[in-house]
């Protein structure tokens, strides 16, 4: 059951590598990555790496931020990461 009407159209797919450990009936029916051809060529490894990077900031945000400040902080982090990655001064390691 979706939390809000906006969540009703959200695709809930588990990455192929993790899907084998999802054994529940809900996961098998709604989270199967093979049922969603639109995400076939999606780079899930990059998503995993970004999730791990963002998770490193959870202790800074857990208690002291309102939802609005948290959203701003997250957007700022993503923007700074994007700017650093796309910088003309970036050197390949």
User: Mean pLDDT across the stretch 13-31?
Assistant: 82
**pLDDT band, residue 61 (cuts 50/70/90):** confident
Query: What per-residue string of b and e applies to 2-30 under the rule 16 or more CB within 10 Å gives b?
Result: eeeeeeeeeeebbeeeebeeeeeeeeeee
**pLDDT band, residue 1 (cuts 50/70/90):** low
Among all chains, which residue has been given the structure tokens 């997250």? 74
């Amino acid at each position: 059951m979706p939390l809000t009407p906006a969540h009703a159209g959200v695709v809930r797919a588990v990455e192929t590598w993790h899907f084998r450990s999802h054994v529940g009936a809900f996961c098998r029916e709604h989270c199967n990555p093979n049922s969603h051809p639109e995400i076939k060529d999606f780079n899930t490894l990059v998503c995993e790496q970004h999730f791990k990077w963002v998770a490193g900031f959870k202790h800074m945000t857990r208690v002291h931020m309102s939802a609005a400040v948290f959203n701003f902080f997250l957007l700022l982090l993503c923007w700074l990461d994007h700017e650093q990655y796309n910088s003309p001064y970036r050197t390949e390691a």
